[in-house]
Amino acid sequence: MMFLLTLFTLSFFFSSSDALDFCVGDLSAPQGPAGYSCKKAEEVTADDFVFSGLRATGNTSNLFKIALTPAFSSQFPGVNGLGISVARVDYPVDGRAPMHTHPEAAEVFVVIKGTFYAGFISSAYKFYFKTLNEGDIMAFPLGLMHFQINIGESEALAFSFYSSASPGVYIMDNAWFTNDLPTDILQKTTFLDPDQIKKLKGLLGGTN
């Protein structure tokens, strides 16, 4: 009996699989709501858990003067299924992350270099904000609208950590002003001036 039990325990140990430890994303298969399907465990190497794509400064030549370089599961399949991810965010002088949410994730924003004014709006519509300096971190709760602005006199750098391998980014200005949502509907639903709406649509590529 003891022998059988030992045999059973041993076979249990020897049949335990790395597949229980991780689920490195198979980027060749489609991504579902729960993430990517798992790459075969025997094909996984240490390289799957390392990402060097955040070494370089991103391209900040855009309206918001920001470069968010993601290491989400689509770029860094090693985080697939782990419920975490990170992005490098470069901000030249006057750069800003415009008002946005991450539908799937809370965020911790870590200031590596520079000075930021950052804030979020709670679901009770209270505004929480702070000036952040090098080494400061700020938490942004799940799904809430938030922003960060480089208010310093030189370029700034931050890393944002997310409680999802695929946090999503939903930018308010993009939602309102980059598509064909009619100006009169935006006017009715926001009370913004039609002229202001047209100006912002012009800036962001929207029509109507």
Give the footprint of ligand NAG on this chain (CB under 6 A): 59, 61
CA triplet 26, 34, 101: central angle to 5 degrees?
A: 110
148: which residues sit within 8 A by CB, 6+ positions away?
Answer: 89, 91, 96, 97, 109, 116, 117, 118, 132, 158
- C-beta closer to ligand NAG: residue 67 or 158: 67
CA distance 29 to 53: 22
CB of 57 to ligand NAG, least distance (A): 10
- C-beta closer to ligand NAG: residue 59 or 208: 59
- C-beta closer to ligand NAG: residue 57 or 208: 57
Q: Are 54 and 88 in contact (CB under 8 A)?
A: yes
CA distance 105 to 167: 5
CB of 61 to ligand NAG, least distance (A): 4
CB of 60 to ligand NAG, least distance (A): 8
Q: How far lies 159's CA from each of 84, 138, 155, in Å? A: 13, 11, 14
CB of 114 to ligand NAG, least distance (A): 21
Other C-beta atoms closer than 10 Å to the C-beta of 79 total 27
- C-beta closer to ligand NAG: residue 83 or 92: 92
From the number of C-beta atoms within 10 Å of its C-beta (0-12, 13-18, 19+), residue 159 rates as middle
CB of 59 to ligand NAG, least distance (A): 4
- C-beta closer to ligand NAG: residue 98 or 143: 98
Residue nearest ligand NAG, CB atom distance: 59
